[in-house]
């Protein structure tokens, strides 16, 4: 198996195609775990998940259990959540506070900086000198770094700095971090769901402007009903106050940006409207950051930080961590991400909008995930292996940015300005070029 058999990238001929096998093949999946998730930077969580001394939270990177912990002095670290003795998982809960972790199997213990606090019955253990040469503490992740409260780690030491990895996309994380002086937090209540399809379907769907009116007509009908019978009893929706996604809308309504490293943004103009909970801060944010950056905070934005993090600010504001489990099974950990210090009314509005749209128990996400499963079933075919879903926008994609990215001071690798019906698919190319670069360590060209 060669990479050229999986990704057909011929920009001069206007061709970009992906082979269905990259979604189904176990060997490809194993290489993805090794070279993408365990071979480069991955998102771990946010600093507010471990806000106080000795707070910790757990996550998974590729197949590896991870614990992020703040020590007594306030320093954050990321460790492999596994006892060096027998390998047992140490922290068994999603989050907590512990000065000392005691392994439940043989009572080896560790302080909140990961140092060994004791090997049970060490003196009586008749250990050789060689044993004393080992570090009995928790193994740290090879790299760990923070950008504005967003925490990333790499199991591979041989990676560029986080600053280089995020590149220009870091400014898009700043749009989340800057919405309040006090930063941002996760609304209590984590929602986890699985779907029986490949992880890259979630990667793509977040950036997919083409599916909205096709996949979500049942939700759009609900919006139309709410619009026609304005009532205080219904969940106020961001979508019903915006026309950018409607097929009859004319002119530039948004577009896409592609960045090095596989990060992408799909965006649209929502306008500064009271339907967005941030509206109460509209004046203050314009004053502090200028109108251009303020307006970007109010734009619909679906951001993917390759390979496992997405922040969707559209119907509400969602943080997603993508965890591949098998070629045809993915776990999604999701939270409502919100600026600290917003009013009770704004927070309530944000939460209601979130549940209504984003939850796997809501009115939109199930129609996405069921379609992922339909794709996964169809991916079994190798009769026509090359998918045709990377072609829209091919003649609209330009090198560099445009007036909208200039206003934010970012320089994407490529950009597309779109009306409501263009629905760029070239932004996926960025995913698969990053994918190809990382997978090249395991697959011949």
Q: What is the DSSP letter of 83?
A: -
Instruction: Please tell me the distance from the alpha carbon of residue 159 to that of residue 162, in angstroms, as a whole number.
Output: 8
Nearest to 422 by CA among 201, 245, 175: 245
User: In this structure, is the dihedral angle defined by the CA atoms of residues 391, 392, 394 and 400, taken in order, positive or negative?
Assistant: negative
Instruction: Please tell me the distance from the alpha carbon of residue 81 to that of residue 153, in angstroms, as a whole number.
Output: 13
We find the least distance from the C-beta atom of residue 202 to another protein, in angstroms, to be: 12
Structure tokens at 183: 């930063």
Between 30 and 224, whose beta carbon lies closer to another protein?
224
Name, in order, each residue with C-beta under 8 angstroms of 55's C-beta and a sequence gap of 6 or more: 49, 69, 70, 95, 96, 97
Instruction: Please tell me the distance from the alpha carbon of residue 180 to that of residue 186, in angstroms, as a whole number.
Output: 14
Between 135 and 361, whose beta carbon lies closer to another protein?
361
Between 85 and 211, whose beta carbon lies closer to another protein?
211
Between 99 and 348, whose beta carbon lies closer to another protein?
348
Instruction: Please tell me the distance from the alpha carbon of residue 187 to that of residue 265, in angstroms, as a whole number.
Output: 24
Between 38 and 331, whose beta carbon lies closer to another protein?
331
Between 56 and 296, whose beta carbon lies closer to another protein?
56
We find the least distance from the C-beta atom of residue 323 to another protein, in angstroms, to be: 12
Structure tokens at 186: 């996760």
We find the least distance from the C-beta atom of residue 17 to another protein, in angstroms, to be: 25
Between 52 and 344, whose beta carbon lies closer to another protein?
344
We find the least distance from the C-beta atom of residue 23 to another protein, in angstroms, to be: 17
We find the least distance from the C-beta atom of residue 237 to another protein, in angstroms, to be: 10
Nearest to 430 by CA among 309, 312, 263, 304: 263
Instruction: Please tell me the distance from the alpha carbon of residue 326 to that of residue 442, in angstroms, as a whole number.
Output: 18
Name the site residues for another protein (rule: CB under 8 A).
93-95, 187-196, 215, 217-219, 221-222, 225-226, 231, 233-235, 331, 335-336, 344, 347-348, 351-352, 354-355, 359-363, 365-367, 369-371, 373-374
Q: What is the DSSP letter of 12?
A: G
Instruction: Please tell me the distance from the alpha carbon of residue 347 to that of residue 359, in angstroms, as a whole number.
Output: 17
We find the least distance from the C-beta atom of residue 341 to another protein, in angstroms, to be: 13
We find the least distance from the C-beta atom of residue 351 to another protein, in angstroms, to be: 6
Residue given tokens 């915006």 in the structure block: 242
We find the least distance from the C-beta atom of residue 263 to another protein, in angstroms, to be: 27
Instruction: Please tell me the distance from the alpha carbon of residue 80 to that of residue 68, in angstroms, as a whole number.
Output: 9
Q: Is 153 helix (H, G, I), strand (E, B) or coil?
A: strand
We find the least distance from the C-beta atom of residue 187 to another protein, in angstroms, to be: 5
Nearest to 333 by CA among 90, 1, 43, 3: 43
Residue given tokens 């979500």 in the structure block: 216
Between 134 and 224, whose beta carbon lies closer to another protein?
224
We find the least distance from the C-beta atom of residue 228 to another protein, in angstroms, to be: 13
Nearest to 142 by CA among 129, 157, 132, 152: 157
Between 97 and 116, whose beta carbon lies closer to another protein?
97
Between 359 and 402, whose beta carbon lies closer to another protein?
359
Nearest to 45 by CA among 354, 331, 319: 319
Cβ neighbours around 344 below 10 Å, total: 7
């Amino acid at each position: 198996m060669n990479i050229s058999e999986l990704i057909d990238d011929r920009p001069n001929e206007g061709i970009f195609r992906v082979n269905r096998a990259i979604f189904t093949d176990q060997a490809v999946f194993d290489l993805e775990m090794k070279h993408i998730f365990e071979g480069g930077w991955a998102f771990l969580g946010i600093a507010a998940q471990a806000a106080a001394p000795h707070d910790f939270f757990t996550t998974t990177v590729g197949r590896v259990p991870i614990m992020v912990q703040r020590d007594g002095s306030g320093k954050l670290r990321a460790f492999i959540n596994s006892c060096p003795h027998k390998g047992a998982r140490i922290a068994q809960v999603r989050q907590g506070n512990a000065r000392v972790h005691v392994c439940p199997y043989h009572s080896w213990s560790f302080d909140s900086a990961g140092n060994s606090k004791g090997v049970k019955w060490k003196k009586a253990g008749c250990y050789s000198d060689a044993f004393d040469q080992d570090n009995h503490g928790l193994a740290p992740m090879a790299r760990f770094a923070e950008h504005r409260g967003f925490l990333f780690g790499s199991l591979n030491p041989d990676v560029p700095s986080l600053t280089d990895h995020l590149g220009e996309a870091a400014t898009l994380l700043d749009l989340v971090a800057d919405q309040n002086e006090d930063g941002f937090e996760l609304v209590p209540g984590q929602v986890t769901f699985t779907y029986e399809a490949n992880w890259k379907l979630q990667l793509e769907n977040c950036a997919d402007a083409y599916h909205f009116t096709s996949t979500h007509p049942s939700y759009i009908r609900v919006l139309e009903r709410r619009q026609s019978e304005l009532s205080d009893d219904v969940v106020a929706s961001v979508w019903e106050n915006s026309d950018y996604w409607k097929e009859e809308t004319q002119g530039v309504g948004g577009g896409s940006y592609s960045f090095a490293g596989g990060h992408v943004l799909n965006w649209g103009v929502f306008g500064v409207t009271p339907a967005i909970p941030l509206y109460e801060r509209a004046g203050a944010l314009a004053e502090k950051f200028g109108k251009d950056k303020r307006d970007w905070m109010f734009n619909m934005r679906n951001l993917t930080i390759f390979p496992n993090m997405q922040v969707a600010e559209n119907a509400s504001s969602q943080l997603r961590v993508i965890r591949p489990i098998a070629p045809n099974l993915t776990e999604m950990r999701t939270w409502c991400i919100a600026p600290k210090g917003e009013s009770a009314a704004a927070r309530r509005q944000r939460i209601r909008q979130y549940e209504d749209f984003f939850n796997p128990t809501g009115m939109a996400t199930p129609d996405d995930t069921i379609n992922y499963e339909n794709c996964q079933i169809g991916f079994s075919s190798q009769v026509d292996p090359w998918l045709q879903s990377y072609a829209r926008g091919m003649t609209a994609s330009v090198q560099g940015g445009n007036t909208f990215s200039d206003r934010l001071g970012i320089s994407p690798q490529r950009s597309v300005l779109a009306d409501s019906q263009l629905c760029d698919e070239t932004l996926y190319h960025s995913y698969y070029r990053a994918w190809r670069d990382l997978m090249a360590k395991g697959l011949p060209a």
